[in-house]
Structure 1
Amino acid sequence: MKIIIVGDGKVGATLTEQLSKEGHDLTVIDRRPQALQSLQETYDVRCVCGNGAAMGALEEAGAGEADLLIAATSADEINLLCCITASKMGSASTIARVRNTDYAQQLDLLKDELGLSMTINPERTAAREIYHILRAPSSVNRDFFAGGKVELVELHIPQNSAIVGQPLSKLYKKSGAKVLICAVTRGDEVVIPSGDFVVAAGDNIHVTAQPQDMAVLLRYLGIKTPRIQAVTILGGSRIAYYLATRLMSTGVRVKIIEKEYETCRHLSQLLPGALIIHGDATQKVLLDEEGLRDADALVSLMNFDETNAIVSMYAMQQGLPKVIAKIDRIDYMNIFKKMDVQTFISPKRLICNHVLRYVRAMTASSGSSFNTMYQLVGGRVEALEFTASPATKYLNVPFKDAPVRSGVLIACILRRQKVIIATGNDCIQDGDTVILVTTSEMQVSDLNDIFQ
């Protein structure tokens, strides 16, 4: 596909990296010549230096023939103008990053007139992800498939867990839960396991199951599922505002610690039900005075990854049941894990996932319809959802007899509202929702891609 990215900031650079890996024809527009030079030295992309909202720059980038334009500058208005202009020039689809919620109602009303295919809000998306994790605090990460009927949950295995030293085949029999462990992270190694894989303490496992079966598995593993009633948020960002709004709507007590006085005053007006503390959240004395130990969860949303890591480590030493940290640099992920910070959120990575889902759906053939995608383990593993069609290959053929590619794990099938944890005797039927897990190198964009 021919794709134009306007803006080479955090989100734009992440999109360029991922879409370049997938072999798309990329053109990047940015005002900064040094940033573009660095980009060209790293990736096989075409660069245009200029204002992405101006017709001259868009014409030079080939907006009239583009399959997709993604406007990801720091200014909402420029992003919207980019998309409107590109759409009028002939771009097939446009995506705009829009952070200001004041525009939400107008965008819903004028989406077609503005030529917008999709809008993305990194802060709101991050807040929603954090909220889902806090609703199931025993998980490291949590994603949903098939309209919420199937969960994909990442769990950290402690020393005393019943699964340690046991092959997965015994886990399925002993736990009584209809689940499938579809990926295991051990240090820097990622494994898509078979039934004879033996789990070790310290592993992170990615489990697919229905919510009721997930609860059975957690009880068997001895993993507690405490209810979160009080959350401390460090940093008064937009993510903090969106998250606090969601949490308070469900009766959770929220405390926000923010260094800037004007931000505190503004938050106190927007969130009258929250306790807003003016102070430096990196100071141990302040955290102790504000009763950090009494919180059920801490969410560190400050500006620097290093600060979030250090404060998160201190919170874990104080015995908080759940600690979540925001990171911007994905290459810090393994460092965080080695410091026992298991749960972290990357807003730019979440937005990249949303865009990739859209791109994969655009490139899917008639073999299936592409529904959704989640990237796991820093983008090294993908979980994907498709709906089978009459053009899907090997319909009604048991998986043990079908030429499924090595490295593909079919996790489960949703058939007429019934969830089936897939085995070798199961098959795909027309209309099935199929959830599968594979390595990101395979670049599966259609259900037929899983077959040799």
Structure 2
Amino acid sequence: MHIVIAGGGEIGGQIAKALTQKHDIVVIDKDPELRERLEQHDVQFLEGSATDPDTLREAKMDLADVFIAATNWDEVNLLACLLAKGLGAKEVICFVGKSSYMDILTDPRTVEILGTRIDRVLWPQRSLAKEIVEVIMVPGAVDVETLAGGRLRFLEYRVEEKSPYAHRHLKIIDWPEETFMAGVLREGRLIAARDPGFDDLELQPGDRILFTSTPMGFTALQACFAPRGRVRQVMIVGGGNVGYMVAQELSRYRVQIVVVDHNEERCAWLAEELPGALVLQGDGTDTDLLESEGLDNTDVLVAVTDNDEKNLLVSLFAKQAGVAKVITRVGRAENRKLFERVGIDIPLTPRQAAVREVVDWLDSENVDHLSLMEENIELLEIELPSTFRERTLGSLELPTGATVVAVERGKKVSLPNYNQTVAAGDTLLVLSERRVAEDVLARVR
């Protein structure tokens, strides 16, 4: 497919890298410094404006199967999509950052006027807010995914220096029933459950352990990593779209919510929209303010301003104050490793959700990309095709760096049993390094 992407920054650049192996990618951006970074991934770079018809024509818009508008400016994305459609792009995807645009573009009256000029509208901030709430409500976990319509959970826990699992071999640890240990993330690489030498692996501080579990197994697993129980108080620094949506969702639970934002007008709006929350006007980096409003009693701090440096300062202070879990929004992907290196528990970015949604839309019909971990590890949902030859799960030889974590047949879902038989029509949930994902798909066809 010929795919043109407007914006080579945080979202557009990552989408381009994710798609370039299978598709012909052109990225349009005004910043000439992006050229070298993108071209090393075999992405064609075109310097210019995505709202300039001549630039769009130069990108061969009349041959474009898909146009993706992913700049940092909603108005540019909207205009670029309309121009791209007018110049012949078959389908267009528009990213927006403001809730007002999302509301307008999904309004049936707007759709009636625009017709199919914009085929899909994506709002990464909404997905990020949902992810933050899921992580908040599972104490001890650094990532949580709900699978198979809520019948399974995929969980990620970090091994801390004082953890009872640090410096222990996997083969001597008995995990709860109805759980499956899928692998260990170490320095950005996946050591999967069926990789050679997995059972002899000694867990190290900083490792992240990946599990799938049933609801019953989830309760027992939580007791292993978070014996303190439920979250009672959450402090949110940053009352923008993400902060508001996190607070709004948390209001459904029995959680005390404190929201801090510097903008007086925004705080007045938040106080009206979030009647159960304490909304404070002030600088989130003001340590006296945070301490006076109960930081020492806070179970989770969420730093989601639109400034990476401010989020980092707030998060580091919260860690020093003894907050058990700190969740930090990271606007630039290159900062994520830095945040982890200085001890931030859970640095998250809207990019992961954005890349996953686009890749799912463009990928083959029998594969969904459920989750992205790190830059190169993902959870795949693969429906076995009609050509698949029935065999036992144990005889399905996946490459090193990949493992089946669950099997779904009709309405029944189960954790992997390597003696069970899998057949065409079954769905496999596979944890895989992205470098071997194509090999995984080849072996299940």
Q: Distance in 2 between matches of 1:281 and 1:270?
A: 20
Over 6 Å off, 4+ runs: none
The question of whether the paired residues in 2 share the 8 Å contact of 1:188 and 1:334 is answered with: no
Query: Percent identity between the aligned chains?
Result: 26
Structure 2 SS opposite 1:114: coil
CA deviation after TM superposition for structure 1 residue 66, in Å:
1.6
CA deviation after TM superposition for structure 1 residue 435, in Å:
0.2
The question of whether the paired residues in 2 share the 8 Å contact of 1:301 and 1:325 is answered with: yes
User: Are 2:442 and 1:449 aligned?
Assistant: yes
User: Are 2:203 and 1:209 aligned?
Assistant: no
Task: Kindly report which structure 2 residues correspond to 1:350-369, keeping only aligned pairs within 5 A, or say none.
Answer: 350-359=353-362, 361=363, 364=364, 369=366
CA deviation after TM superposition for structure 1 residue 410, in Å:
1.1
Q: Distance in 2 between matches of 1:385 and 1:350?
A: 16
Q: Deviations over 1:187-244 (max 9, x none)?
A: 455422445143425221011122321222232x253263223211112222111111
CA deviation after TM superposition for structure 1 residue 64, in Å:
2.1
Structure 1 SS opposite 2:57: helix
Could you tell me which of 379, 383, 387 is aligned with 1:383?
379
Who is 1:91 aligned against? 89
Who is 2:261 aligned against? 258
Q: Deviations over 1:131-163 (max 9, x none)?
A: 111121221011122222221110123456554
TM-score, normalised with respect to structure 1: 0.86
Structure 1 SS opposite 2:79: helix
User: Are 2:43 and 1:45 aligned?
Assistant: yes
What letter corresponds to residue 183 of structure 1 in structure 2? G
User: Are 2:409 and 1:407 aligned?
Assistant: no
The question of whether the paired residues in 2 share the 8 Å contact of 1:180 and 1:411 is answered with: yes
The question of whether the paired residues in 2 share the 8 Å contact of 1:76 and 1:100 is answered with: yes
- Inter-CA distance 176–289: structure 2 relative to 1 (3 Å threshold): closer
- Inter-CA distance 425–287: structure 2 relative to 1 (3 Å threshold): same
Gaps of 5+ in 2: none
The question of whether the paired residues in 2 share the 8 Å contact of 1:258 and 1:278 is answered with: yes
- Inter-CA distance 37–388: structure 2 relative to 1 (3 Å threshold): closer
Structure 2 SS opposite 1:130: helix
User: Are 2:411 and 1:417 aligned?
Assistant: yes
Task: Kindly report which structure 2 residues correspond to 1:281-360, keeping only aligned pairs within 5 A, or say none.
Answer: 281-359=284-362
Q: Deviations over 1:259-312 (max 9, x none)?
A: 233433343344344322222221222211121112221101133334323322
User: Are 2:257 and 1:242 aligned?
Assistant: no
- Inter-CA distance 105–290: structure 2 relative to 1 (3 Å threshold): closer
CA deviation after TM superposition for structure 1 residue 106, in Å:
4.5
What letter corresponds to residue 217 of structure 2 in structure 1? D
Task: Kindly report which structure 2 residues correspond to 1:6-85, keeping only aligned pairs within 5 A, or say none.
Answer: 6-20=6-20, 22-30=21-29, 32=30, 34-35=32-33, 37-39=35-37, 42-85=40-83
User: Are 2:135 and 1:133 aligned?
Assistant: yes
- Inter-CA distance 218–252: structure 2 relative to 1 (3 Å threshold): closer
Moved more, 159-168 or 322-331: 159-168
Q: Distance in 1 between matches of 2:146 and 2:355?
A: 17
Who is 2:222 aligned against? 218
What letter corresponds to residue 383 of structure 2 in structure 1? T
- Inter-CA distance 69–161: structure 2 relative to 1 (3 Å threshold): same
Who is 1:371 aligned against? 368
Cα RMSD, aligned residues only: 2.8
The question of whether the paired residues in 1 share the 8 Å contact of 2:170 and 2:203 is answered with: no
Who is 2:433 aligned against? 439
CA deviation after TM superposition for structure 1 residue 37, in Å:
4.0
